[in-house]
């Protein structure tokens, strides 16, 4: 691999978000709290869906894996970020950097395709409800999920293969708090034009394909909802996809702002804020969005808690 040929050093240096010790401490406390909420929220969502039989439907099948992806890619980024904020150790090995980058791109790209699968699920549920159980069968849901991971892995593999051909001769100081594609490419002393184009095309294709599926699905959903005569019927139909639409808007808004542009146009301030939002904050927001705006999840949580209390009650009686 060419990237080791130019330098004796074996590490990248992550500059992070700030040089101020006070700000670093404040950010470390904030990020730790956000990460704890992320772990508890996503793990809780997975457990509730697993424990409540009434949530064993295609929509919640996808939501379980969305929570897993959010938990995973937050874990890929946040612990290392906390280490950099709390210690003087700012370095990350070349292999560690590229491993972090690989799994982050894999999980983020997979989430793009998973969100489009969830949009298609909502489209079938609202626009073709009579055939919903036949179309969204267990086998078809598994097929969509597997396809999401396969396409995510392809995108990530191409990204890493292209990056591994670069030389880093002049500087290994990354002006970011994690190993993202844009700031790493900006360090290379190689001609990155072709590699930027390939990565841009794959990232653009991922976003275009998933966003097209989501847009077409929601255009059909909106058309169907507008044809419903009763106001309560419209409200009920819209409520079934409102959480997903909000989650999609937040996720794609920051991803497009950060990634769907030439890598050399990396902007330190704005891109770091967007990166913090979609790597650390959004994984925390998704379980809140899907639970607080979803009556079924609230009722399921209530049922799970009642079962837990009943189990404790019977346990005390036997004791």
Q: Which domains does the chain have, with CATH numbers?
A: 2-313 (1.20.1070.10)
Does residue 231 surpass a pLDDT of 50? yes
pLDDT at 295: 66
* Torsion sign across C-alpha atoms 248, 251, 257, 259: negative
* Torsion sign across C-alpha atoms 261, 17, 102, 78: negative
180: its two tokens: 């993202």
Distance separating alpha carbons of residues 314 and 304, to the nearest angstrom: 15
3-state secondary structure of 93: strand
Top pLDDT among 225 and 272 is at 225
Does residue 7 surpass a pLDDT of 60? no
pLDDT at 230: 80
Distance separating alpha carbons of residues 216 and 193, to the nearest angstrom: 33
Residue pair 300/59 in contact by the 8 Å Cβ criterion: no
3-state secondary structure of 14: strand
pTM here?
A: 0.84
Top pLDDT among 192 and 119 is at 119
Query: For 202-207, what is the mean pLDDT?
Result: 88
Q: How many CB atoms lie within 10 A of CB 180?
A: 24
Q: How many CB atoms lie within 10 A of CB 8?
A: 5
Distance separating alpha carbons of residues 149 and 117, to the nearest angstrom: 12
Distance separating alpha carbons of residues 306 and 300, to the nearest angstrom: 10
pLDDT at 265: 47
Does residue 258 surpass a pLDDT of 70? no
pLDDT at 273: 74
Does residue 145 surpass a pLDDT of 90? yes
Query: For 10-20, what is the mean pLDDT?
Result: 80
């Amino acid at each position: 691999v060419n990237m080791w040929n130019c330098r004796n050093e074996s590490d990248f240096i992550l500059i992070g978000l700030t040089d101020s010790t006070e700000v670093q401490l404040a950010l470390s406390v904030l990020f730790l709290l956000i990460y704890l909420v992320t772990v508890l929220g996503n793990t809780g969502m997975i457990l509730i869906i697993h424990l409540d039989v009434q949530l064993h439907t295609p929509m919640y099948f996808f939501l379980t894996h969305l929570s897993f992806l959010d938990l995973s890619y937050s874990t890929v980024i946040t612990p290392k970020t906390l280490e950099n904020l709390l210690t003087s150790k700012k370095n990350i090995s070349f292999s560690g950097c590229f491993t972090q980058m690989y799994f982050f791109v894999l999980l983020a790209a997979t989430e793009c395709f998973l969100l489009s699968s969830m949009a298609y699920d909502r489209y079938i549920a609202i626009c073709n409800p009579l055939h919903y159980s036949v179309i969204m069968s267990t086998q078809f849901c598994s097929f969509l999920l597997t396809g999401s991971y396969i396409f995510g892995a392809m995108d990530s593999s191409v990204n890493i293969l292209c990056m591994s051909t670069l030389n880093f001769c002049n500087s290994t100081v990354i002006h970011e708090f994690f190993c993202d594609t844009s700031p790493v490419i900006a360090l290379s002393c190689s001609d990155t034009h072709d590699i930027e184009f390939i990565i841009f095309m794959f990232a653009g294709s991922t976003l275009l394909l998933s966003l097209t599926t989501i847009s077409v699905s929601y255009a059909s959903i909106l058309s169907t909802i507008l044809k419903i005569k009763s106001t309560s019927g419209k409200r009920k139909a819209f409520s079934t996809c409102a959480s997903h639409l909000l989650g999609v808007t937040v996720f794609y808004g920051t991803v497009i702002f950060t990634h769907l542009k030439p890598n050399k146009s990396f902007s330190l301030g704005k891109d770091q804020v967007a990166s913090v939002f979609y790597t650390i904050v959004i994984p925390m927001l998704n379980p809140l969005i899907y639970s607080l705006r979803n009556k079924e999840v609230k009722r399921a949580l209530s049922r799970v808690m009642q079962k837990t209390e009943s189990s404790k009650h019977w346990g005390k009686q036997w004791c």
